[in-house]
Structure 1
Amino acid sequence: MVDNVYMTNAKGRPADTTRSRLVAAGVELLESDGLTALGVRAIARSAGVSHGAPRRYFPTHAQLVAAVARSGLDDLGTEIAPVLRDRSTPPRDRLVSAASAYIGFAQRRRAMFELMFRHDILVGSGADLRSLSLPMIAELHSVVAEFVGDQYSWTATVRFWMSIHGLAVLVANRALEPMAALIEIDVEALVIDAVDAVG
C-alpha cells in the first residue's frame, strides 16, 4: 500500500494527496455505510493506505471524523451561500431557496448531515468547524434581518433555523411518512410557512 503520494498544487507547492484520499474515503464510507463505518482502519483500507498512515495526518480518530464533517460543511456552504448572497432576489425568496437546499442536502446526504451536528463526536477534535458554520449563520442572519427589517433579529434567525433544521431532520429520516396516511405532506409549503412565520 502507498502511504505518501505527493503532487504539485496550483501554487507549485507539494500537495499531500494521502490526507485528501483519507478524507474522501471517509466521506464515501459515511455515505454508503453510515457513521458506524468511520473507523480508522476501515478508512485506511478504503483509501488504499496502511492502517497506520491516518495517524500521521490525524493523530486522533476525532480529528479524522471532523475532517470528514468539514467536507460536508464545505459542500453545504457551496450550495447555500450563493443563494443567500444573491441580492437580485428578494430576501423571502432567498430564504425559501436556502431552506429548500438545506433540506435537500439533509435528504440526499443523511449520514453526513447527521455527523455535521454530532457535537458529542466532534468536540475536542481541534478542527474549528465553527470557522465554517459561523459565516453561514451570519449570512443567514443578514437575509433574515433584511426580510424582517430588523438588523438585531437574531431571535428570528434562530427561530427560522430551528424550524428548517427540524423539518430537515424529519424529512431526512422519513419521519413524516406515517402522517402522510392521514394528511397530505407538502414540504415546500411547510418551508414557505416557516419563512413567512419569521416575517
Structure 2
Amino acid sequence: MDSEGSLRERLIDVGVDLVTPEGSASLGLREIARCAGVSHGAPRRYFPTHHALLSAIARCGFEDLRARFGAAIANTASPRAQLQAAARVYVGYVLDCRGMFELMFRHGLLDSRKHASDGLRLRESTLPLFERIVALVARCEVERDAAHRSGPAEPAPPPTVTAAALWANLHGVAQLWAWGSLQLALDAEPPGGAPRGDQLDRLVAAVLDAHLGPVNS
C-alpha cells in the first residue's frame, strides 16, 4: 500500500507524464487520478485544490530546467559562454517540452496570491533561474568594463534589467518559432519543429549581442 508521501509523488509524476505530450489541458483531477490508479477524490487528500497540484507539477518543470542549465554550463568557463549555453537550453526546452512550459508560465498559477502548495508559490520557483541569469549578466558587464579601461564604456542598465530583457527576448524567440512566425519572417526551414543547431546558435548569438554587446566590442 502506498504511503501518503509516495502517493503524493505518484500523482505529481503522473501529471508530469501527462503534460509532456498532451499539454496542460490534460491535467484534470479525474484524469490524473485515473492514470495514478486511485479514486477521483484521492488527490484532494494531498492537494487541497487543483491549483496546488498543478503548481507542484509545474515546479518539476522548473527543477528540470534548472538541472539542464547546470549541466550546460558545467564545463564552460566564461560568463558569456555560460549565458549562451543557458540561452540555448532555454529555447530548446520551450520547443521540446511545450506542454510543461505552458504550465510553468501559466498566468493563473504564477500570479496567484491566494494559493500556495507546501508554502511555496509557483512564482518563487522562477527566482533561482532568474538570479542565475542576473549573476552571469553582471559578470559579463564586469568583463566588458575591464576591456574598456582605455576609455569609458557606455553606461549599462542594472544587471536585473538587462537580464529581464534578455529573458524576455529568448522567451519571444522560442514562442515565435513554436508558432511558425520566425520561420516565415526568416524564410527558414523546416516550417515546424525545433530550429537546426546553426539556426538556434545564430538566434541566441543575436539576442546576446543585442543586450550585452558583440563579443569583440
TM-score normalised by structure 1 residue count: 0.84
Identity in percent: 37
Shift of 1:181: 3.5
- The yes-or-no answer on 1:132 pairing with 2:91 is no
Q: CA offsets, 1:62-107, max 9 Å, x none?
A: 11111111111110111114545x5851111111100000011111
Question: Which segment drifts farther, 166-175 or 156-165?
Answer: 166-175
Looking at structure 1, the residues matched to 60 and 133 of structure 2 have their Cα atoms a distance apart, in angstroms, of 20
1:1-199 equivalence runs, <5 A: 5-6=2-3, 16-83=5-72, 86=74, 89-122=77-110, 123=112, 124-127=114-117, 128-149=121-142, 152-181=158-187, 186-199=199-212
Q: Deviations over 1:8-41 (max 9, x none)?
A: xxxxxxx711111111111111122221111100
Check the 8 A contact 2:33/2:43 in 1, yes or no.
Answer: yes
Contact 1:30–1:37 at 8 Å: present in 2 too?
yes
State how far apart, in whole Å, the 1-side matches of 2:84 and 2:128 are. Answer: 19
Distance in 2 between the 1:39 and 1:165 partners? Answer: 27
> Quick one: distance in 1 between partners of 2:100 and 2:163?
23
Q: Is the 8 A contact 2:109 2:122 kept in 1?
A: no
Three-state SS of the structure 2 residue aligned to 1:193 is helix
In structure 2, do the counterparts of structure 1 residues 87 and 34 end up closer, same or farther at CA, with 3 Å as the change threshold?
Answer: closer
Distance 2:94 2:20 in 1: 12
Q: Gaps (5+ residues) in structure 1?
A: 7-14
When residues 194 and 62 of structure 1 are mapped into structure 2, their CA distance, relative to the original with a 3 A threshold, is same
Tell me the CA shift for residue 182 of structure 1.
6.8
The structure 1 segments of at least 4 consecutive aligned residues displaced by more than 6 Å after TM superposition are 182-185
Contact 1:70 1:129 in 2 (8 A): yes
Deviations 1:134-191 (A, max 9, x none): 1211111010011122794222111111111111212333332333537998222110
Query: What secondary structure is seen at the aligned counterpart in 2 of 1:163?
Result: helix
Deviates more, 1:143-152 or 1:41-50: 143-152
Equivalent pair of 2:76/2:82 in contact (CA under 8 Å): no
In structure 2, list runs of 5 or more residues that go unmatched: 143-155, 213-217
Cα distance in 1 for partners of 2:67, 2:164 equals 21
Contact 1:141 1:157 in 2 (8 A): yes
Task: Check the 8 A contact 2:183/2:189 in 1, yes or no.
Answer: no
